[in-house]
Amino acid sequence: MALHHQWSIKQLDIFNAFLHRKVEDEVYMLQPLGFIQYPNQGFTNSQSDTSLFVYHSSAGLMLLVVYVDDILITGSNSSPISHLITQMHQVFSMKELGSVSYFWGISVECQGADYFLTQAKYATKLLHKAGLVDCKPCSTPLALKPPSTSHDSLPFSNPSLYHSIIGGLHYLTLTHPDLSLAVNQACQFMHLPTNGHFQLVKRSLHYIKGTFHHGLRFTSGPFSIHAFFDANWAGDCLDRKSTSGYCVFLGPNLISWSAKKQATISRSSTEAEY
């Protein structure tokens, strides 16, 4: 939206969002009946993303994204945005960080009229956690053949490390759609990972080593939607279930993607794709 309309994106940070102390006051998860209603600021919550708030008025459109204590704001008119930020300063201890550059582990680089999103810093931390910061890169996130030695079938000695790395890989798919299938397969063995499963995870980490600066480029373009879909048939050798994959573009920009095993067994390639 911002690129299409050439709006600037401002980043705000709320101080002291996390306080570690003993709480002796009553905390309500829902506002109790009879409590004084706060005045409505005019923002409505997006139905597709609960972190997105939209404000429509005669002065223009404002979009506000809130993730705990980090906020992005953009819109068609700078005056209402400046007025909102001034009001927020009166209520919160807050810092203005200028144009968006680094948001929740995602680097946002302005390249001419485009934005380029990467997670190189986050990926480096993940390799350090796995002890593979000096590993050799490989060209694909998945091996053509799974490991098949007797050692590979033994339970992995550190399941918590496996879980932690899978969580990190899952977050990396925000700018690495090419990891989606590998991460989906690794997630299927969270309950009892083996040495062989961890070898598959390490393969993905070796791939990340060589693709630190891969990411998503967002550029101005039409608001036309194009979707692509494919499925393999009985691709899982254990349960013979198929895997579906799709990607959705808004104009030239990739905005949604998935690689997921199907819930039921398909009896033909036609059924798998249907």
Contact 125, 14 (CB under 8 A): no
> Which DSSP string do the residues of 203-249 spell out, in sequence order?
HHHHHHHT-TT--EEE------EEEEEEE-SS--TTT---EEEEEEE
pLDDT for 160: 93
Continuous H helices in the chain: 2-5, 78-91, 120-130, 159-172, 180-187, 195-209, 269-273
Domain ranges of the chain: 2-100, 119-209, 221-273
Q: Mean pLDDT per 10-residue run, the chain (274 residues)?
A: 90 77 81 72 89 91 91 93 92 90 90 91 93 92 74 87 94 94 92 91 94 92 93 87 95 93 93 91
Please tell me whether residue 16 adopts helix, strand or coil conformation.
coil
The DSSP H or E segment spanning 158 is none
Residue 249 C-alpha from the chain's centroid: 16
- Rounded distance, CA 109 to CA 71, Å? 17
Please provide residue 160's backbone torsions phi and psi, each rounded to the nearest 5 degrees: -65, -35
pTM of the model: 0.82
Please tell me whether residue 164 adopts helix, strand or coil conformation.
helix
- Rounded distance, CA 246 to CA 229, Å? 4
pLDDT for 270: 92
Q: 2-100: what fold?
A: Double Stranded RNA Binding Domain (3.30.160)
User: pLDDT of 157-194, one tens digit each?
Assistant: 999 999 999 999 999 999 999 999 999 999 999 999 99
CA-wise closest residue to 154 among 124, 197, 215, 205: 197
pLDDT for 14: 87
